């Protein structure tokens, strides 16, 4: 005879339910363990120790600026009475300045215009008729003769300043002067390494003779000319 089992004593009847409940409990414990946070009590210190006591400093008081009251509004203009002008004003009649054919036209005498001489300055290199140095009147190439006579004049009158020799000063002095419309020498300018050398160059240029002035289109004109004078110690 087989023993009969009570259906309530079947252990495996609700095993699936128990497995699900156990799994849910385990997952809840794992989640709680992962999300658990613990704060240390290391920051419990007195914050008042790090705060400086600045209550003793004097706080400047803001001065209240009193703004002046706005200016009073301008007074209302007085009522101006318009008075009718009873005086009669004479009308000005403007006469026409146009001439008719009947009127005779007066002939105007011719006015002679005075010619104003222009102060023209033409460089030596482009002037039509170069200034003539004394002694070059019969030369075929007056420009070359002029430059040659200038070099002879400088060599003839050259004298080295003693002060410049003692100081050992030497160099080139650039000289610019103008041959005026009357053939005289003027407007002398120079630049050099020493004032003594410049003074000697000025002395040499001032000894130039009067020349025949240069001409442009047949009229005397000013002719600027430049030349270097070298001062070299032996």
Q: What's the pLDDT tens digit per position in 83-102? A: 565 556 566 666 656 655 55
Average pLDDT over residues 104-126: 68
Distance CA 199, CA 161 (A): 9
Residue 19, pLDDT > 70, answer: yes
| pLDDT at 21 exceeding the cut of 80 | yes
- Determine the 3-state secondary structure of 115 from DSSP: coil
Residue 48 reports pLDDT greater than 60: no
What per-residue confidence (pLDDT) applies to 50?
Answer: 47
Q: What percent of the chain has pLDDT over 70?
A: 62
A 10 A CB-CB count for 131 gives 23
Q: What is the mean pLDDT of residues 47-52?
A: 46
| Whether residue 47 has pLDDT greater than 90 | no
The DSSP bridge pattern shows strands 171-179 and 185-191 to be antiparallel
Per-residue pLDDT of 172-204, as tens digits, reads 999 999 999 999 999 999 999 999 999 999 999
* Residue 113 reports pLDDT greater than 70: no
Annotated domain spans of the chain: 142-231
Q: 152: part of which helix (H) or strand (E)? A: helix 142-157
Q: Residue 200's closest CA among 165, 152, 224, 149?
A: 165
Find the helix or strand (DSSP H, E) in which 231 lies. strand 223-231
C-alpha to C-alpha distances, 174 to 150, 153, 171, 197, nearest whole angstrom = 14, 16, 10, 10
Find the range with the poorest average confidence among 6-10, 49-53, 71-75, 133-137.
49-53
The second-level CATH assignment, the architecture, of 142-231 is 2-Layer Sandwich (3.30)
In this prediction, residues 107-134 reach a mean pLDDT of: 76
Q: If you write DSSP's letter for every residue of 15-59 in order, what string do you get?
A: HHHHHHHHHHHHHHHHHHHHH-----S-----GGGGS---TTSPP
pLDDT at residue 55, rounded to an integer = 45
pLDDT of residue 154: 93
For residue 124, give every residue at least 6 positions away whose Cβ sits within 8 Å of its Cβ, in sequence order, or none.
130, 131, 143, 214, 223, 224, 225
Work out the mean pLDDT of the chain and round it to a whole number.
Answer: 77
Higher-pLDDT residue of 134, 48? 134
Is the distance from CB of 197 to CB of 232 less than 8 angstroms?
A: no
Take residue 95 and report the two structure tokens written for it: 């006469």
Per-residue pLDDT at 132: 92
> Region 24-43: what's the mean pLDDT?
75
């Amino acid at each position: 005879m087989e023993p009969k089992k009570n259906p309530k004593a079947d252990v495996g009847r609700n095993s699936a339910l128990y497995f699900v409940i156990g799994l849910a409990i385990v997952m809840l414990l794992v989640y709680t363990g992962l999300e658990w946070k613990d704060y240390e009590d290391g920051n419990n210190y007195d914050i008042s120790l790090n705060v400086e006591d600045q209550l003793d400093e004097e706080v400047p008081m803001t001065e209240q600026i009193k703004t002046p009251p706005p200016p009073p509004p301008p007074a209302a203009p007085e009522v101006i009475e318009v008075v009718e002008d009873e005086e009669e004003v004479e009308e000005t009649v403007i006469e026409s300045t146009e001439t008719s054919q009947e009127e005779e036209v007066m002939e105007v005498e011719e006015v002679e215009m005075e010619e104003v001489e222009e102060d023209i300055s033409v460089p030596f290199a482009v002037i039509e008729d170069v200034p003539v140095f004394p002694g070059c009147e019969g030369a075929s190439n007056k420009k070359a003769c002029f430059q040659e006579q200038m070099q002879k004049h400088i060599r003839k009158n050259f004298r080295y300043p003693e002060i410049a020799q003692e100081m050992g000063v030497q160099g080139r002095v650039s000289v610019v002067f103008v041959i005026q419309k009357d053939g005289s020498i003027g407007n002398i300018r120079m630049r050099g390494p020493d004032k003594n050398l410049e003074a000697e160059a000025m002395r040499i240029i001032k000894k130039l003779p009067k020349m025949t002035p240069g001409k442009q289109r047949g009229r005397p004109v000013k002719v600027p000319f430049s030349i270097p004078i070298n001062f070299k110690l032996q």
